[in-house]
Every structure is written in C-alpha cells, then in structure tokens.
Amino acid sequence: MQLLPLTPNGQTPVRALTIAGTDSGGGAGIQADSRTMALCGVHACVAVAAVTVQNTLGVSAFHEIPPEIVAGQVRTVVSDIGIGAAKTGMLASTAIIEAVAGVCREVGIGRDGEIPLVVDPVAASMHGDPLLHAEALDAVRHTLIPLATVVTPNLDEVRLITGLDVVDDRSARKAAEALHALGPRWAIVKGGHLRSSEQSTDLLFDGETFHELPAKRIATGNDHGGGDTLAAAIASALAHGYSVPDAVAFAKEWTFRCLEASYDLGAGHGPVSPLWRLHLGISGS
Ligand code: PLP
C-alpha cells in the first residue's frame, strides 16, 4: 500500500488535531488517534473532551471536561501551531458539542472553512457502554454533522442518527443519503459491522455519486479502536493534502493492516495496532 510520508528528523511535520476522549486502556480514543497520526507522519495535537475509566472489558465511568476548556484547547492550538485537518471522537454531551462547533466555526475548522473536519459520531463503546448522553443525539445530528467534511458512523451510530437499519447494499445507500441530508460534504456508511458478509464494503457518498470501497473482512475480536483509527487515518491523509476519496481509500487500507496487526490485551477486546508501520523504517519499504 501507499504509505503517508514520514518527515526527516528535525523537520516540522504536518499537524492534525483530535478532539475526543481518552482511553485509560490505551486502545481507542485519543490514544488510538495519536498513534495513527504519528505513524502517518503527522504531529498530533489533542483537545481532551472527556476522560474515560476504561479497560479491555468496558467503560465503567467517564468525566466530562468543561466545554470552555475543550474549546480553549482547540483555539490555542490553531492560533499557534496551525493544523491541516481535525477530527472529533467522543464528545459526551450537548454542551461540549455546542462549544466544539462554536470554536470550529470561529477558527475555520469544518464546512467550509480552510481546515477539513472528520466527524466520528461516537455514541457507545463496542461493549455497549454509553460514551454520549442520549439527549445529545440531536446536537450530533443538527450541530456537529453539518460541520463535517466527512462523517464516519458505524452501523449502530447510523441507526441512532438516522433511524435506519443497514442490512444490505440498498439500505446502506438509503442510510448514506439520509446522513448526507444532514449537511456533511461526504458521508461514509461503514460495512465493518455487517457480520454476515465476507466483505467489509464501505460506501462513500457526496450527494451525487456512490463510491464503493470493498475490503476482505478480518475475523478478530481484537478490533477495539478500529473506528477511531479509520477516522484518524482519514484526518492524517487530509492533513497531507489528499482529496476525501483518496484519504478514505488510504484509511481503509491502513485500518485493514491495523486489524491484521491487532493483539490480545487484558481479558476483553484487544486493540487494532498501527505499530506494524514501525517495522518498515522511514522509507516505508
Ligand atoms: N473509548 C473512547 C474514548 C472512544 O473514543 C471510543 C471510540 O471512539 C471507544 C472507547 C470505543 O471504541 P470501540 O468501539 O472500538 O470499542
């Protein structure tokens, strides 16, 4: 696969910002985003929105960062460091979503500011533990998603956001249209959780054309952080100047390799791993 270029020592890499929650188990959230960004040659800036109490068995609690502190992290990073792309993950509440949307509009992140925004509308962990208050779904639909350059829900999140069940290609197209109608530039419907299929085909839609991105399914229980990794890889490629379709195609291959390299951890779901990239050295071969 074509890898994103790493910067020679001492040179400033491109920058991206993740606005998301932490995972104390190190598998998902900000930890997954930062790892993928680093190994895609990107300096990762971080705006912490929530701190989760989490291991491989689940999320037992989370603490929300005050909305003005979340927005302040975004503002201060953009004004000094400058970023080529941003990504949102776990935002937990309506108040945080509104603060993030407000600062994004202020500094030119998202539709159609200069800085592209990947919105991963995180609602729950793979164990079913909530990462978003139910009352915040309206803010996800009408405040956050309309700002997105590209929105990347999994099938559970598609159901929560649109009310549509994706069971086949036809319903995936309907869901992509419903997501796109909320206002993002591009919508992805991920096929990864369609367990019955041999393939894991993602659908990318810009309001006119459907792009199908097939991949072979990998049967592993160690897929914690897979959604974060895909969205962070898209943001990394956008920061490097890729178009959205090229960034998504890159991210899909990246995530496939990270699923192949996933490992056992603790007693629950292990993480997808981008550490395979370290074995390739700076030239990537
Ligand atoms: N914890 C945090 C902080 C996350 O952001 C996410 C997903 O985005 C998760 C947990 C859940 O990840 P998964 O669904 O891969 O278990």
Q: What is the pLDDT of residues 130-147, one digit of tens each?
A: 999 999 999 999 999 999
Q: 29 in ligand 1 pocket by Cβ < 6 Å?
A: yes
Q: 157 in ligand 1 pocket by Cβ < 6 Å?
A: no
Beta strands at 186-189 and 42-55: parallel, antiparallel or unpaired: unpaired
Mean pLDDT over all residues of the chain? 95
What digits encode the pLDDT tens for the residues 252-285? Answer: 999 999 999 999 999 999 999 999 999 998 888 7
Global pTM reads 0.97
The order of strands in the sheet holding 58-64 is 58-64, 42-55, 14-23, 85-88, 117-119, 150-151, 186-189, 202-205, 210-213
Q: How far is the CA of 226 from the centre of ligand 1 (A)?
A: 8
Phi-psi region of 44 (alpha: psi -120 to 50; beta: other; left: phi over 0): beta
Residue 273's pLDDT is 97
Residue 122's pLDDT is 96
- How confident is residue 192, by pLDDT bands cut at 50, 70 and 90? low
Residue 197's pLDDT is 60
Give the number of the atom of ligand 1 that is nearest the alpha carbon of residue 269: 16
Residue 112's pLDDT is 87
Q: Does residue 196 have a pLDDT over 80?
A: no
* Residue 190 CA neighbour count, 13 Å, CB half: 26
**Domain segments of the chain as ranges:** 14-273
Mean pLDDT for 45-52 is 98
Give the number of the atom of ligand 1 that is nearest the alpha carbon of residue 154: 14
Mean pLDDT for 15-39 is 98
- Give the type of residue at 275: L
Q: 225 in ligand 1 pocket by Cβ < 6 Å?
A: yes
Which of 19, 22, 23, 93 maximizes ligand 1 atoms within 8 Å of its Cβ, making it the mutation to test the pocket? 23
Give the number of the atom of ligand 1 that is nearest the alpha carbon of residue 21: 3
In CATH, the number for domain 14-273 is 3.40.1190.20
Q: How far is the CA of 119 from the centre of ligand 1 (A)?
A: 14
Spatial CA neighbour of 268 closest among 141, 136, 148, 127? 127
What digits encode the pLDDT tens for the residues 216-238? Answer: 888 888 999 999 999 999 999 99
> In whole angstroms, what is the distance from residue 256 CA to residue 253 CA?
5
Q: How far is the CA of 125 from the centre of ligand 1 (A)?
A: 5
> In whole angstroms, what is the distance from residue 37 CA to residue 277 CA?
12
